[in-house]
């Protein structure tokens, strides 16, 4: 073996291994690129069909003479929106373009603008230019609104639109698509007296359309195969030309009959100088302004559809969808499309899922599809002119039938009868009175549904009294018993949700029933806790004024606790808080104040903490046992803020509170203490650590000047040894104290459930 042979072999092996790894890495990339290009090609065919179909829909009926502009307008949107959204969307496989929902309303805008210009005596040139400007401005306005929604991070707010209202809106969209297909075929809007025009159509106009519409609807009702729509379109085109050949008609004959698209070129305003036309006032701006509400309907339809499509795509692909980013992407795409003379477009669920199932793995598929549409139109515009109009009408029938079946048939099993009634109701309003009337009906229905359905949700999360809900202040056994006896004098409610006129009235009604109810003790305090509420409207202040008057008539005090800042500001502005209403920052603080008031007014106050320490303990001990116990207790006085003991210290003693108050607290992560419970006169603190022989689990700090009596473990053991009877009475007293705490906790638990 020659010198260096070993090294050469090693280098060859290393090079071979490196080459294999590079080949393995390159193979998935090449396969992914091939999948993207194949999926992009499939998407291109579908995008062209959608663009031509929707472009034909806009320029139909009275605008049919300008049909050659419909396809370029749609294709501009198809190319621009698909390219921008493919590059900026949060979903890599997104395919965008003109969509049936917005286009159905946009067709109404175009027809309305043309009718207004014609009524104003405008020339055909003015009609055409005004319609094109209206379509472009609609795209720009929609883009600005969508971008604003996404930038303000308010996209999720659209989800609060009631589901049946959305269903009625989309069912109306399906009707408009079917009406658009009728206009393309007959040149007239669907009316009772125009339905007979269908019988005068040549069968070449409606047979392929019916074939495409019905077959596509049937094949795509279940799980859609990636080749279903392209296959049906190819079959429809082949069927049309086969029938054309069988009838002996030429392509020129078919174009003269309106069965083929006119020749188109990729320009936006043909044979016109737009700047000069604008300068000469050839645009009827008044007509555009008159139909601005319908333009806003297009914007609303776009926002709702983007939300629904993006959510559906995320659920189907398992990807994380940023709705705000999707709104911004659609906004930028529509602004660009409008500035170039295109129509509204955005993310498409069907085309995106078709792209994913065709093998797309990255954004390359969407970019390729957008550029392929541009190249196909620029290189061979005559190919577009060979596309059969009946096939495009069939595609419109498919889109309209799909929406109608989904929301008139499919929604019946998913909705209650009163919810489902909104769907055909809004559909009828759109069909009979127009888009704006249908949208107004939907908004009114949404408000009524909110009032009826949300009003049925109780705003009272829990009701309580002084027996079932107490403050965190530990009372003596006698005081706790007395509070349970006086529990009926408190009527409390924990509120929840958003408060408005409906829920506020229900609160007023509940309090009225409670005040008027026959009980052993009259209600002296009405407590409303707002800790779980998230706002209120101005009408609530009126209800609280009535509530305060009702309480004053019954001799009860109204107590409000945990008012959110905005709710408190609203009540303060309306003067409601100036009506001698007691307000506390927390429910616990309010309950503590009420308990003190009840005990002060109690007839048995002489038996409570106001007397000396011995009188407090006397009911639980014999005179001899009480004397023996007090002789062994150590008196300790604390200033406010002074620690009785701290967390972690040994549990070597328990304490009986004579007067004042101590609080049990735990430090938070930021060092601030949180009060768990406080102990007043006649209570015992620290006994659990003594019984369990563990260290202290929390800090105990004096909240006011306090005197306690200390009983150490060693003293307790000596008492058990020297005087078992006294020790037994002391243990019995502690058991009563613990049992009293458990009784309060049990009542609170019962009230919560």
Strands (E), 52-192: 96-97
Phi/psi at 528 (nearest 5 deg)?
Answer: -120, 120
pLDDT digits (tens, 9 = 90+) for 80-90: 999 999 999 98
Which domains does the chain possess?
25-135+160-319+341-451 (no CATH), 460-606 (3.30.750.24), 613-752 (2.60.120.10)
With CA atoms as reference, report the closest residue to 212 among 406, 397, 405.
397
Per-residue tokens: 599: 């005990």
Residues linked to residue 647 through DSSP beta bridges, in sequence order: none
CA atoms within 13 A on the CB side of 655: 27
The rounded Cα 257 to chain-centroid distance in angstroms is 50
pLDDT digits (tens, 9 = 90+) for 33-48: 887 888 888 888 888 8
Per-residue tokens: 748: 């609170």
pLDDT digits (tens, 9 = 90+) for 624-648: 999 999 999 999 999 999 999 998 9
Query: How far, in Å, CA of 317 to CA of 332, rounded?
Result: 24
On the question of pLDDT at 242 being above 60, the answer is yes
Q: Collect all residues with Cβ–Cβ distance below 8 Å to 664 and sequence separation of at least 6.
A: 675, 676, 677, 678, 679, 685, 698, 699, 700
Q: Report the pLDDT value the prediction gives residue 453, as an integer from 0 to 100.
A: 66
Mean pLDDT of all residues in 147-159: 79
Q: Residue 319 — very low, low, confident or very high, per pLDDT cuts 50/70/90?
A: confident
What is the number of other CB atoms lying within 10 angstroms of the CB of residue 267?
A: 12
On the question of pLDDT at 384 being above 50, the answer is yes
Q: Residue 749 — very low, low, confident or very high, per pLDDT cuts 50/70/90?
A: low
What is the number of other CB atoms lying within 10 angstroms of the CB of residue 32?
A: 16
Q: Report the pLDDT value the prediction gives residue 381, as an integer from 0 to 100.
A: 63
CA atoms within 13 A on the CB side of 458: 8
What is the number of other CB atoms lying within 10 angstroms of the CB of residue 200?
A: 7
Q: Residue 451 — very low, low, confident or very high, per pLDDT cuts 50/70/90?
A: low
Residues linked to residue 260 through DSSP beta bridges, in sequence order: 388
Rg (CA), the chain: 39
Q: How far is CA 22 from CA 15, 110, 362, 423, in A?
A: 10, 56, 21, 58
On the question of pLDDT at 664 being above 80, the answer is yes
Phi/psi at 663 (nearest 5 deg)?
Answer: -120, 135
Sign of CA dihedral 446, 451, 456, 461: positive
73-77, 417-421, 675-679: which has the minimum mean pLDDT?
Answer: 417-421
Q: Report the pLDDT value the prediction gives residue 158, as an integer from 0 to 100.
A: 65
- CA quadruple 220, 221, 224, 228: dihedral, nearest 10: -20
Q: Residue 221 — very low, low, confident or very high, per pLDDT cuts 50/70/90?
A: low
Cβ contact 359:183 at 8 Å: no
Residue whose pair of structure tokens reads 């019946």 in the numeric block: 412
85-94, 430-439, 525-534: which has the minimum mean pLDDT?
Answer: 430-439
3-12, 177-186, 537-546: which has the minimum mean pLDDT?
Answer: 3-12
Mean of the per-residue pLDDT values for the chain?
Answer: 81
Sheet holding 490-499, edge to edge: 460-464, 490-499, 525-536, 557-561, 582-584
Q: Report the pLDDT value the prediction gives residue 612, as an integer from 0 to 100.
A: 72
Mean pLDDT of all residues in 64-90: 85
Q: Report the pLDDT value the prediction gives residue 309, as an integer from 0 to 100.
A: 81
Mean pLDDT of all residues in 163-173: 80
What is the number of other CB atoms lying within 10 angstroms of the CB of residue 197?
A: 15
Mean pLDDT of all residues in 175-194: 81
* Report for 29-43, 261-275, 508-522, 650-664: range of highest mean pLDDT: 650-664
With CA atoms as reference, report the closest residue to 205 among 391, 398, 60.
391
On the question of pLDDT at 499 being above 90, the answer is no
Query: How far, in Å, CA of 7 to CA of 721, rounded?
Result: 93
Buried b vs exposed e over 6-17: b needs ≥16 C-beta within 10 Å? eeeeeeeeeeee
Q: Report the pLDDT value the prediction gives residue 25, as an integer from 0 to 100.
A: 44
């Amino acid at each position: 073996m020659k010198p260096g042979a070993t090294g050469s072999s090693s280098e060859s092996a290393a090079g071979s291994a490196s080459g294999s790894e590079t080949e393995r890495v390159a193979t998935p990339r090449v396969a992914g690129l091939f999948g993207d290009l194949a999926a992009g090609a499939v998407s291109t065919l579908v995008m062209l069909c959608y663009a031509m179909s929707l472009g034909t829909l806009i320029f139909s009926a009275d605008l049919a003479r300008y049909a050659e502009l419909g396809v370029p307008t749609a294709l501009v949107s198809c190319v621009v929106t698909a390219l921008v959204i493919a590059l900026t969307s949060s979903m890599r496989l997104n395919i965008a373009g003109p969509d049936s929902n917005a286009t159905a309303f946009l067709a109404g805008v175009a027809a309305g603008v043309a009718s207004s210009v014609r009524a104003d005596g405008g020339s055909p040139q003015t009609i055409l230019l005004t319609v094109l400007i209206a379509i472009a401005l609609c795209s720009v306005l929609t883009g600005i609104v969508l971008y604003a929604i996404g930038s303000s991070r308010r996209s999720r707010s659209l989800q609060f639109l009631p589901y049946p209202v959305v269903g009625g809106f989309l069912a109306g969209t399906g009707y408009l698509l079917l009406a658009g297909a009728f206009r393309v075929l007959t040149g007239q809007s669907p009316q009772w007296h125009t339905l007979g025009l269908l019988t005068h159509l040549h069968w070449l106009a409606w047979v392929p359309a019916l074939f495409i519409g019905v077959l596509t609807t049937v094949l795509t009702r279940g799980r859609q195969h990636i080749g279903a729509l392209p296959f049906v379109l190819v079959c429809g085109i082949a069927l049309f030309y086969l029938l054309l050949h069988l009838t002996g008609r030429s392509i020129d004959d078919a174009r003269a009959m309106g069965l083929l698209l006119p020749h188109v070129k990729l320009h936006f305003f043909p044979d016109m100088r737009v700047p000069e036309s604008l300068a000469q006032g050839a645009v009827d701006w008044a007509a555009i302004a008159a139909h601005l509400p319908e333009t806003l309907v297009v914007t609303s339809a776009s926002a709702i559809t983007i939300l629904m499509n993006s959510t559906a795509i995320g659920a189907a692909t398992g990807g994380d969808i940023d709705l705000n980013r999707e709104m911004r992407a659609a906004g930028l795409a529509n602004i660009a499309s409008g500035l170039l003379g295109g129509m509204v477009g955005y993310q498409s669920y069907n085309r995106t899922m078709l792209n994913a199932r065709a093998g797309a793995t990255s954004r390359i598929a969407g970019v390729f599809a957008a550029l392929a549409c541009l190249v196909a139109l620029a290189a061979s515009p005559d190919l577009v002119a060979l596309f059969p109009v009946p096939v495009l009408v069939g595609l419109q029938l498919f889109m309209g039938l799909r929406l109608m079946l989904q929301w008139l048939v499919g929604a019946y099993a998913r909705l209650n009868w009163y919810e489902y009634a909104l769907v055909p109701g809004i559909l009828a309003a759109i069909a009979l009175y127009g888009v704006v009337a249908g949208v107004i009906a939907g908004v009114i229905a949404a408000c009524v549904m909110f009032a009826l359905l949300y009003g049925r949700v109780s705003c009272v999360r829990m009701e309580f009294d002084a027996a079932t809900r107490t403050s965190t202040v530990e009372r003596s056994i006698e005081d706790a018993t007395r509070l349970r006896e006086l529990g009926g004098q408190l009527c409390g409610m924990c509120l929840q949700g958003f408060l408005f006129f409906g829920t506020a009235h229900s609160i007023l009604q509940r309090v009225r029933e409670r005040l008027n109810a026959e009980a052993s003790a009259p209600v002296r305090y009405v407590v409303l806790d707002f800790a779980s509420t998230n706002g209120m409207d101005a009408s609530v202040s009126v209800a609280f004024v009535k509530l305060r008057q009702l309480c004053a008539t019954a001799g009860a005090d109204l107590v409000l606790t945990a008012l959110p800042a905005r709710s408190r500001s609203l009540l303060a502005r309306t003067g409601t808080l100036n009506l001698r209403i007691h307000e506390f920052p927390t429910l616990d603080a309010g309950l503590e104040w009420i308990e003190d008031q009840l005990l002060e007014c109690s007839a048995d106050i002489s038996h409570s903490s106001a007397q000396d320490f011995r009188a407090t303990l006397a009911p639980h001990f014999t005179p001899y046992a009480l004397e023996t116990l007090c002789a062994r207790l150590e008196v300790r006085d604390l200033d406010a803020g002074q620690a009785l003991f701290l967390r972690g210290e040994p549990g070597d003693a328990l304490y009986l509170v004579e007067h004042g108050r101590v609080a049990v607290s735990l430090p938070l992560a930021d060092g601030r203490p949180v009060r768990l419970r406080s102990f007043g006169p006649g209570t015992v603190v620290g006994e659990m650590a003594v019984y369990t022989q563990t260290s202290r689990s929390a800090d105990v700090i004096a909240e006011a000047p306090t005197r306690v009596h200390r009983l150490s473990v060693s003293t307790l053991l000596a008492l058990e040894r020297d005087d078992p009877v006294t020790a037994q009475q002391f243990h019995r007293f502690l058991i009563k104290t613990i049992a009293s705490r458990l009784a309060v906790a049990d009542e609170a638990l019962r009230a919560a459930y």
